[in-house]
Amino acid sequence: MFKKDKPNILFIGLGMMGQPMALRLIQAKYPVFVHDANQETVKNYCNKIDAKSLLPSEDLSSIDVVITMLPDSEIVEGVIFGVDNFPGISSKLKPGSVVIDMSSSEPMRSRALGTSLKKMDLIYLDAPVSGGVRRAIDGSLAIMVGGALEAFVEVKPILENLGKNIFHVGDPGSGHAIKALNNYLSAITTLSVAEALIIGKRFGLDPNKMVDVFNSSSGKSNATENKAKQFMLSESFGAGFTAKLMVKDITMANQLGSAVNSSMELGEASLNAWRNALKYLGNDVDHTAIYRYVEQNQ
Ligand code: NAD
């Protein structure tokens, strides 16, 4: 599919995840161009690591692969199809170019996006990630990919610089569906760990001991292993994933449930708690601060 071993990549979205991911591709010697809506971010990034910036409004005929790492479907679609007076990248890419959306986007919208891009002779893959900033830095993310198998095989060498466990999971939108359901589970366990720790503390238990016990027992989860001591009990609240993104992900999982006529009792309860936490804690707070919300409100 690509004429050369290392295709030209345009990486869009230099946030907490995008910056270390783009850096890994640059270090792997891919010709990478970067873009973010925040020009200051682009300037600082390019100065720091000697990256090249490319605006979506410029000539994109040399680009083979576009990777998006953006907040949500609305923004991804805006970048691809254009918004207000800005043309989208889809009208500027050459036929056969691949668009890989690595953001956590809405599965039903991604499915439709795959169909629209196919009509434009562009290839769409959804490839959301799990693992957070730490694993974006060391290139050990889990990546779940939806879209044509042949395209997946072609871009896998690129993804191997970003993740260790890379799965092809089905047609366009399938990666985003699994990602939303994964974060549905993560939201519930993170909230329940915060509740359990606060209840135990009020009873008089040592919360650090509680985490040790959970991690050797059936209550073990990613939240007990990688969040409880590190970010909740230490009160550093710096896992690198905001509560706002968590609310987005639970909302998407619940919408997916509705779309396939499944009730999501726990999904609704969890969404309610996370929304209240967001209101109380403020928009930019890390999701592990749910511990502080539980401590002060429940
Ligand atoms: P972030 O908010 O740190 O970064 C998003 C970036 O997108 C920002 O730099 C912003 O300026 C840029 N942006 C917004 N609108 C834009 C536009 N129209 N054009 C170009 N750039 C634009 O978010 P993040 O934490 O890096 O997460 C990115 C995606 O990855 C989200 O979908 C999130 O759900 C998902 N994700 C995040 C984590 C995590 O731990 N942070 C883990 C897994 C998945």
Give the mean pLDDT per block of 10 residues along the chain (298 residues): 90 98 97 97 94 93 98 97 90 97 97 98 98 95 98 98 98 98 97 98 98 98 97 97 96 96 95 98 96 96
Query: Is the distance from the beta carbon of residue 67 to the nearest atom of ligand 1 less than 6 Å?
Result: no
Nearest CA to ligand 1 atom 31: 71
132 lines ligand 1 (CB under 6 A): yes
CA distance 234 to 266: 28
CB-based contacts of 217: which residues, under 8 Å, 6+ apart? none
C-alpha dihedral, 135 to 136 to 139 to 140, nearest 10° = 30
DSSP alpha helix (H) spans, 204-297? 207-215, 222-226, 243-259, 265-281, 290-297
Cβ of 144 closer than 6 Å to ligand 1, yes or no, is no
Residue that the structure tokens 């979506």 belong to: 56
- Contact (CB, 8 A) for 267 and 257: yes
What is the C-alpha to C-alpha distance for residues 76 and 88, in angstroms, rounded to an integer?
Answer: 10
240 alpha carbon, distance to own chain's centre: 11
| Residue-level length of the chain | 298
Q: How far is CA 102 from the centre of its chain?
A: 6
Choice from 10, 11, 12, 36 to test ligand 1 binding pocket (greatest atom count within 8 A of CB)? 36
- Separation CA 104–CA 119 (nearest Å): 23
Residues of the chain with CATH 3.40.50.720: 9-171
Question: Exposed, middle or buried, 147 (CB in 10 Å: 0-12/13-18/19+)?
Answer: buried
Start-end of CATH 1.10.1040.10 domains in the chain: 178-297
Fold of 178-297: N-(1-d-carboxylethyl)-l-norvaline Dehydrogenase; domain 2 (1.10.1040)
Residue 85: its pLDDT value, please?
79
Give pLDDT, residue 241.
93
Look up residue 244 and give its two tokens. 């706002």
Residue 49 phi, psi dihedral angles, 5° rounding: -125, 15
Decide if 243 contacts 286 (C-beta within 8 A): yes
Q: Which atom of ligand 1 is nearest to the CA of 18?
A: 26
How remote is the CA of residue 15 from the centroid of ligand 1, in Å?
A: 5
Residue nearest to atom 3 of ligand 1 (CA): 15
Ligand 1 atom with least separation from CA of 78: 18
CATH class as words, domain 9-171 = alpha beta
Q: Quick one: pLDDT at residue 84?
A: 86
Two structure tokens written together for 270: 């969890």
Q: 96 in helix, strand or coil?
A: coil
What pLDDT does 175 receive?
A: 98
37 C-beta closer than 6 A to ligand 1:
yes
Q: Is residue 21 lining ligand 1, measured as CB closer than 6 Å?
A: no
Q: Is the CB of 112 under 6 A from ligand 1?
A: no
Count of other CB atoms within 10 angstroms of residue 191: 23
Task: Give the catalytic positions in this structure.
Answer: 179
Q: Which two tokens stand for residue 17?
A: 């995840």
Q: What is the distance in A from the centroid of ligand 1 to the CA of 245?
A: 9
